[in-house]
Amino acid sequence: MIGYYLALAFGRSLSYLPFFILYRLSDFLAWLMADVIHYRKQVIDANLAQSFPNKSKAELQKIRRKFYRNFSDIIVESFKSLSVSKRTMQKRFVLRNPEVFQDLYQKNKGLIMVMGHHTNFEWTAMCIPLVVPQNCYAVYHPLKNKRFNKLIVKIREQFGLKLFRMSNTYPFMLENEDTKPLYVFMADQSPHKGKIKYRTKFMNQDTPVHLGVENLSKKCNLGVVFIDIHRVKRGYYEIEAKLLFENTKETEKHKVTDTHVGALEELIKSDPANWLWSHKRWKHA
C-alpha cells in the first residue's frame, strides 16, 4: 500500500512539470537506456535485423537510437496523463480526416479501429473519443495490483473511452446494444503459443497473428478502419484514418487480417524508429 501511494505521489509530481522539462527528462532516459542500461538491446537488434535485412549495420543502429527517444517520450507523456487537461489534448491530438468516422456514424455502422504500437499508442487510445462521434471501447488486461489497475483504468477512461476485460471480449461485443460503436484493437499483438490459428508474412518474417479483428467484424457487422499515427513534433500527434472495409461478411478467409497487417507494415517501413521494437513480437515465429 505504501509503495502504491509513493509511486502515485512521484507520478503526479512529474505530471505537473511543464512539457519542456519532461522532454529534457526524456532525453536523459533515452541516453540511459541506449548507452548505460542497453535496454533490451539484443531483442531490438534481432527484430530490426530480421525486419530489414537489406539495411546496413549503421542504418539499423540509427533506427535503434531513435527508437529509444520515441520510447522515452512515451514514458514521460504517460506520466503527464495523470494531470493533463482535455483542452491540452485537443490541441496536441488531431484527426486529419474525421469524415471517415463521420460517414460510418451517419450510416449507423459500427467499426473496429485497428492500430499498432506506433508513436504514442497510449495517448491515441485515450484521446480518440475527443475526435470521433462514436462511443469508443477498448479491451484491456487487468493488472494484478488492484490499486494500480484502478489508476490505469481511470487514466485511460478520462476522456470517454470505455474499457472491457480481454477475457470478456467476445461476450461484450456480441451483446453490446450500442448500434454504432468504435472498438480499439491492436494489430501487432502476439497470440499465446497454444492459440495460434494463422500465420502471415509481416516485416519479412513468418508471423502468428490474432484473428479477432476479422472474426468479430464479421460476427458484429462492423467496418474496419486502420489509423496511421504520426508525431508532428514532440508532444503533438496527428492520425490519418484509412477505411479498409465497410463490410467484411463476404470477404474471403484471412483477407481482412492480411489487409490490416499489411497496412501496419507499410506504416512501419515508412517510419521504422517509432514502432515498439523492444517487444518480443516474433517469440513464436
Q: Name the nearest CA neighbour of 41 among 73, 65, 58.
A: 65
Cα(212)–Cα(189) distance, rounded to whole angstroms? 11
Cα(117)–Cα(124) distance, rounded to whole angstroms? 10
DSSP 83: T
Exposed, middle or buried by CB within 10 Å (0-12, 13-18, 19+), for 229? buried
Residue pair 112/223 in contact by the 8 Å Cβ criterion:
yes
Q: What is the pLDDT of residue 1?
A: 67
Cell of 282: 516474433
Alpha carbon 115 to its chain centroid, in Å, reads 6
Tens digit of each residue's pLDDT (9 = 90 or more) over 122-133: 999 999 999 999
Q: What is the pLDDT of residue 285?
A: 75
Q: Name the nearest CA neighbour of 265 among 192, 179, 207.
A: 207
Per DSSP, the three-state class of 259 is helix
Cα(284)–Cα(226) distance, rounded to whole angstroms? 25
Cα(251)–Cα(244) distance, rounded to whole angstroms? 12
Alpha carbon 117 to its chain centroid, in Å, reads 4
Cell of 54: 537489406
Cα(24)–Cα(33) distance, rounded to whole angstroms? 14
- Residue ranges in the chain whose pLDDT is less than 70: 1
Tens digit of each residue's pLDDT (9 = 90 or more) over 161-210: 999 998 899 999 999 999 999 999 998 988 888 889 999 999 999 999 99
Q: What is the per-residue burial (b if ≥16 Cβ within 10 Å, else e) of 245-257? A: beebeebeeeebb
pTM of the model: 0.95
β-partners of residue 241 are 227
Domain ranges of the chain: 1-83, 93-277
